[in-house]
Structure 1
Amino acid sequence: MTSTEFETAAPDPIVYLDRVAATDLGRSYKGHMLDVLDIRPGQTVLDLGCGPGTDLTSLAQAVTGTGTVIGVDHDPTAVETARARAADRQTVTVRLGDIHDLPLPDHAADRARTDRVLQHVTDPAQALREFHRVLRPGGRLVMGEPDWDTLTVDHPDSDLSRAYTQYVTDKVVRNARIGRQLPRLAAEAGFAVPAVIPITSVFRDAREADKILGLERTAQRAVAAGHFDQEAARRWLDHLSTGPFLAAVTLYIVVAESYPGRSRRAVAADPATTAGRH
């Protein structure tokens, strides 16, 4: 089943995160997230699930020398890497911590972001309650999360592609539909949600798509789990590697705000908080 076109082993997590950030897709959606975060000089900004510090420099530039950027991640290796990368930024600190129980006091920050993190955590709702706790009244949270149920891969046998997407959604990613769920979960945590921005990534090059989607290594896991048989997986991958290629998946950027004087129940009951508008 192995194809010379695709990766068969998962890359190192830090290598993978750097790889995504370096793509046109990564630069585009991260830039959009930064724009809607609307950081002002002198503010305190949190990067929750900061990984190896990929976005700390852009946040530090936005707060200027008068602000503060705090990165938080649960992975000691990622924290060590982020600290090394931000060593020349006096306004940046990186802390080891769990986003379900942030090592921060109440109302500590003006802005917060999280980027493709909630799809992996144990309890997204608890994480959002923590985000609400540490933001000041009037603070803004921007989240970017994919909805893997929107993954489409063109193939003459649509049942094979459908089986692949179902496997990714049901077995590979812990919270695979988090993108569509974020507005509701944010409202339930006490936020207003003034904007939901869908960004659909379209891949026309199979090798470039594989660097993000892991087509072959995921198909191998699907075979081992009984979702594909070996022959079906071979036919699917052979076509993807040789024929015209198209795949797409939607990522949602969700803007959430912590308004003073609004209870969680009141925010959740307000229809305006759950309607995405630009």
Structure 2
Amino acid sequence: MSDIERRSRVESLLRQLDAVDAMPGSAELRELSYELLRLPAGAGVVDVGCGGGRAVAELAGRGARAIGVDLGEEMIEVARHRWPEADFRLGDACALPLEDGSVAGYRADKLFHQLADPLKALAEARRVLVPGGRVVLVGQDWDTLVIDSDDPALTRALVHARADLVPAPRVARRHRNLLLDAGFEEVHVEVRTGVFTDAAMLPVLTDLAGSVRAAGGIDAGQEEAWVAEQRRRAGAGRMFLAVPFFVAAATRP
């Protein structure tokens, strides 16, 4: 991938993340994740897969010593530009640039579905957490996206085919068991569903169809017809996308 293509991909991802962050309910979901961390005043917390850095800035604003870690150099550059006073570090979720027992909180939002080995990442979370530290995971189950369409059969096929392109598409439903397998205690799970009807989310749907077509799951005609319908819906204020977000929290013994 060329530098231009890579930058374009990062900019597209940031636009999508910013659109999700701005939607009704998104701020409340982030606030829930912060509350579940139960951070003492001035405690250290790491946001893994920090993206553009919004959560790091918000956690710092709550008095935490917040650190953002992301694998993408471009993402870290964007985060540092947006929040120059914050602490952002390049690093892998399975090899965090942190000392043992150096933070009281670990947060990962919309990350674990991208990981080839989620359990290894949780072992790393346990390493960097102090005893009694808290881990909070937020993520969607890619097989449970709900999209209104005049062609439900094609839409079902698209959702499942898109899920199959993700390294761990159903990891969110496994959060509880993964946390238990990693030795965490007091595991708590809840679900908050985001309902999106704004045209700002149209790129998410067009990207879904484009990704499946590029992988050979549908042909160009099917993609064109499905995307055209979603554009018409968005233009008429009739688009509907529901995404269940699974929130899991636990304590390091």
Bin of the TM-score, shorter chain as denominator length: 0.7 to 0.9
The answer to whether residue 206 in structure 2 is matched with residue 209 in structure 1 is no
Partner residue of 1:235? 225
- 1:69 pairs with one of 40, 63, 66: 66
Give TM-score, length-normalised by structure 2: 0.86
Structure showing the higher helix proportion among its residues: 2
Tell me by how many angstroms 1:183 deviates.
1.0
Tell me by how many angstroms 1:193 deviates.
4.3
Partner residue of 1:198? 191
Partner residue of 2:170? 177
Partner residue of 2:142? 148
Tell me by how many angstroms 1:224 deviates.
3.4
Tell me by how many angstroms 1:140 deviates.
0.5
Partner residue of 1:31? 31
Per the alignment, in what secondary structure is the counterpart of residue 163 of structure 2? helix
Partner residue of 1:51? 51
Tell me by how many angstroms 1:103 deviates.
1.7
Aligned residues: 241
Per the alignment, in what secondary structure is the counterpart of residue 142 of structure 2? strand
Partner residue of 2:4? none
Partner residue of 2:215? 225
CA contact (8 A) 1:148 1:177 kept: yes
Call closer, same or farther: CA 1:208–1:116 in 2, change over 3 Å.
same
The answer to whether residue 124 in structure 2 is matched with residue 130 in structure 1 is yes
Partner residue of 2:92? 98
Partner residue of 1:276? none
Per the alignment, in what secondary structure is the counterpart of residue 143 of structure 2? strand
RMSD of aligned residue pairs (Cα, Å): 2.1
Instruction: Provide the C-alpha distance between the structure 2 equivalents of 1:228 and 1:81, rounded to a whole number of angstroms.
Output: 34
Instruction: Provide the C-alpha distance between the structure 2 equivalents of 1:45 and 1:181, rounded to a whole number of angstroms.
Output: 23
Instruction: Provide the C-alpha distance between the structure 1 equivalents of 2:223 and 2:12, rounded to a whole number of angstroms.
Output: 25
Partner residue of 1:115? 109
Structure number with greater Rg is 1
Instruction: Provide the C-alpha distance between the structure 2 equivalents of 1:163 and 1:60, rounded to a whole number of angstroms.
Output: 42
